[in-house]
Amino acid sequence: MFSDYDEVYQLVKTSFATTLDDDGTTQDYLNELRKKDAFIPGLSLVAEGKGGALVGQIALYKTIINTPHGKLTELLLSPICVHPNHFRRGIARVMIEEALRIAREMGYKAVFLCGNPQIYSKMGFVPTHFHNIFHEEDKAAEWSMVREIYEGALDGITGTINTI
């Protein structure tokens, strides 16, 4: 697990260097996340290419939905990346599906993220406000997205989330 942290750091740095809206600190964000109680090692996954080189990584960690009935712990996806030499091969989709499968086994209901709706809607994510869960800074944020791990998982749940 810890043995690949340096390689994951470089992968994240390289992958996000191609993103216009990244400030160059995503790899450091992931390292800091690993130190927090919200981090779930079993939901920090990598994808390997030929020869065992890392070509992708995904991390899901705990986040809180503030509901009228108290706090509900679910998951936040951040970050996910694929090495630029391996774009458009379905690697991100496979990593998301595997992470969701594991999360379901762990008893979670939903995965939230901040992201481009044009990209993540293709993977089943919808704006959180479709489920009456609102981002606390922008109630109609299209970029604040969620995917239920199973159909109806968020039925009857309302509240706010800060996915930043």
pLDDT of 1 reads 47
Q: What is the Cα–Cα distance from 154 to 164, expressed in whole angstroms?
A: 20
- State if pTM tops 0.85: yes
> How far, rounded to the nearest angstrom, does the alpha carbon of residue 135 sit from its chain's CA centroid?
16
- Among candidate residues 75, 54, 78, the one with its CA nearest the CA of residue 153: 75
Residues 6+ apart with CB under 8 A from 90: none
Specify the DSSP class assigned to residue 18: T
Mean pLDDT by 10 residues, the chain (164 residues): 74 79 77 92 93 93 95 94 90 96 98 94 96 87 95 96 70
Give one DSSP letter per residue of 25-45, joined into a string. -HHHHHHHHTTSTTEEEEEEE
pLDDT of 164 reads 53
The single-letter code of the amino acid at 79 is P
Cis peptide before 117 (omega within 30 of 0): no
pLDDT of 17 reads 81
Residue in the block written with tokens 């991100």 = 92
